[in-house]
Amino acid sequence: MGFMDKLLGEQGSSGRRRRSVDDYVEVDLGDIETAPGEASTQVHIAEIDGQRDLIAIKDAIYDGDIVVADIVRLRTSDSTVEHVIDELRQVAQEVDGDIVQKGDDQIIIVPTGISINRKKLGH
């Protein structure tokens, strides 16, 4: 596998790039000087299994943080997905933030002062 193949990934029969766990490297931040608690905004990663998961997400958005939420587990019930998205959309509106659904599996919610550009980089 050449450098470009490793960078871009091998192309499978479907035309999509195949990736494996070996393609990713854990980043060790031990050499970088960081001081926890200095950032005024944090990025949270969440998984939404149901309605109860929205409480922590809403709290994070009201606190001025960014949330990237995985909604794959909600695919079983379209009414649940719509309800969850509506609730998160309402929270984004309340804080004058922004919300976008990325594909079928992620929702990104940001607070006031941050907007989500819908144009992909490089396009």
Q: How far is residue 118 from each of residues 7, 71, 99, measured CA to CA in Å?
A: 25, 19, 10
Alpha helix positions (H), 1-123: 3-8, 54-62, 78-94
CA distance 57 to 26: 26
Residuewise pLDDT in 10s, the chain (123 residues): 555 555 555 555 555 555 565 666 777 776 666 556 677 899 999 999 888 899 999 999 999 999 999 988 876 566 788 888 999 999 999 999 999 998 888 999 999 999 999 998 886
Q: Which pLDDT does position 76 carry in this prediction? A: 58
Tokens 């984004």 — which residue? 92
Q: Which pLDDT does position 109 carry in this prediction? A: 97
Q: Which pLDDT does position 91 carry in this prediction? A: 96
